[in-house]
Chain A
């Protein structure tokens, strides 16, 4: 039950709710725990709530680190 995945926010709804897309599936989830999320952001969804926003720049950095190892 701890498994949670990054999902794309596609639409903000009333009452702190939003639509997210995950592998082609659309789900309605709560944004009550995160601030300042916009359409196009990725959020980590857990038991129907967004827990945090994904930072694309940090994701790139981590991937660059993996790529560096590949060349080493």
Chain B
């Protein structure tokens, strides 16, 4: 397939890997965080870590939206699904995320709740139009890639005067999470996460552009290279980061220039700004309370805000004590270091959220067999 196959060429991958091996300085370590779950997935799927010299270490970041959703919000969605007359629509990945008391949307669906998986936010709108006597709630999650589609459907619901439709908004922001990782006490005081550089998200950056990362590069003196999701993209970004670190530079570079510009998608940004506003604080699984890291629906669209319509309150619920998702999401631990990994916790029976989505670090390690070597 065009624009896919040529970025997966195994021979070229080995060439880039050889260039990386030739350029790394043996006396130093290169700890690179890929923020985005799509990159975590690609790194595991294509065995990229096996192509890297031992002193280049990939650290998996919190960029999987399913993984960072706190249990309290999953419980809210489960509660919503159980309300009489409600149809809860959601992206498929969310069905198996465990909430409190080992409940999940899949389990309440099996018990009779009307939970429907949608491919697109637009599908939830169609369901609302086709079921005027039911309350249809779209359980919206995701980073800057899924937020603009949610903005489009909220505007459409208002334009159509759809009174049986609302959105339970859980959209979160990438830059806030990166700042939180860089400022976490583990990084500042203990130096447990000596991150040397970042691979910047692919599709998030198509929307927000490369400009928002310029602040990090400067403020924290860390290089950022935005990369596409194909294996050659990731390897090339690693090579670019190695070069920046060797030369003592900390700049924002764009490997994914075929889809990302400095300004990003202004139309999408405009729609998001029209419909959403910043929340003062939002809880992330693994990161805790992060200021100004999530979006809420603005007043003019309040009638389509499920949080207001159903007077939703969110409790803070701690993770299963043995689950290491929190440490994994901050780059402090690897999946194989969790004692539930692969024994009690598997994709069929996930204990923590990192095992649910294909982009979660635990699920990616499990699926592609990395655990055998890491264990």
Contacts and interface: CB of A to CB of B under 8 A. Distances in A.
A63 B258 CA distance: 10
Interface residues of A, number: 38
A18 B203 CA distance: 20
In this complex, the interface size class of chain B, counting residues with CB under 8 Å from chain A, is: 35 or more
A68 to B, nearest CB: 10
A72 B12 contact: no
B259 A33 contact: no
B142 A1 contact: yes
B123 A48 contact: yes
Interface in B292-314: none
Given A1-B65, A2-B145, A42-B3, A30 B122 contact: yes
Interface stretch (B71-79, B146-154, B163-171, B188-196): B146-154
B321 interface: no
B355 to A, nearest CB: 15
A55 B146 contact: no
Most A CB within 10 A of own CB, among B66, B120, B357: B120
Contacts, number: 131
Q: Tell me whether chain A's interface is mostly helix, strand or loop, or mixed.
A: mixed
B268 interface: yes
A46 to B, nearest CB: 5
Interface stretch (B35-43, B46-54, B282-290, B335-343): B35-43
Nearest to A69: B15
B265 interface: yes
A51 B268 contact: yes
Interface string A31-72: 011110000001010111101111110110111011101101
B120 A48 contact: yes
Top-3 shortest CB links A-B = A48-B120, A52-B206, A59-B258
10 contacts: A2-B36, A5-B1, A5-B4, A6-B2, A22-B1, A46-B145, A51-B148, A52-B206, A52-B260, A63-B6
